[in-house]
Amino acid sequence: MAMNIAILEGDGIGPEICAAACKVLEAANDKYTLGLELIFADVGLKSLKRHGSTLTDQTFEIVQSSDGIVLGPVSHLDYPPIQEGGLNPSGVLRKRLDLFANIRPAKTRTELQAPLGKPFDLIIYRENTEGFYSDRNLYEGIGDLMVTGDVAISIRRVTRQASLRIAEAAFQAAVARGKKVTAVHKQNVLKVSDGLFLDCCREVAARFPEVIYDEILVDAACAHLVRTPEDFDVIVTTNMFGDIISDLTSELSGSLGLAPSINAGTQHAMAQAQHGSAPNIAGLGIANPSSLIGSVAMLLKWMGTQHGSSALIHASQSIDAALEQALMTAETRTSDLGGILTTEQFALTVAKNLA
Catalytic residue set: 133, 186, 219, 243, 247
CA dihedral 342→347→352→355, nearest 10 degrees, is 140
> Measured on CA atoms in the order 40, 44, 50, 55, is the torsion positive or negative?
positive
Which residues have a Cβ under 8 Å from the Cβ of 256 and sit 6 or more positions away?
247, 250, 274, 275, 291
Q: How far is CA 104 from CA 91, 206, 225, 260, in A?
A: 16, 25, 15, 6
Nearest CA to 1 out of 306, 320, 317, 343 is that of 306
In contact, 347 and 321? CB cutoff 8 Å: no
Query: Distance between the two ends of the chain, CA-based, in angstroms?
Result: 22
Phi, then psi, of 34 in degrees rounded to 5: -85, -20
**CA-CA distance, 25 to 9, in Å (whole number)?**
15
Q: How far is CA 53 from CA 59, 84, 89, 213, in A?
A: 10, 7, 10, 45
In contact, 23 and 348? CB cutoff 8 Å: yes
**CA-CA distance, 251 to 294, in Å (whole number)?**
16
The secondary element (H helix, E strand) that includes residue 272 is strand 269-272
SS in 3 state form for 54-103?
A: CCCHHHHHHHHCCCEEEECCCCHHHCCCHHHCCCCHHHHHHHHCCCCEEE
Q: What is the DSSP string of 150-192?
A: TEEEE--B--HHHHHHHHHHHHHHHHTTTSEEEEEE-TTTSTT
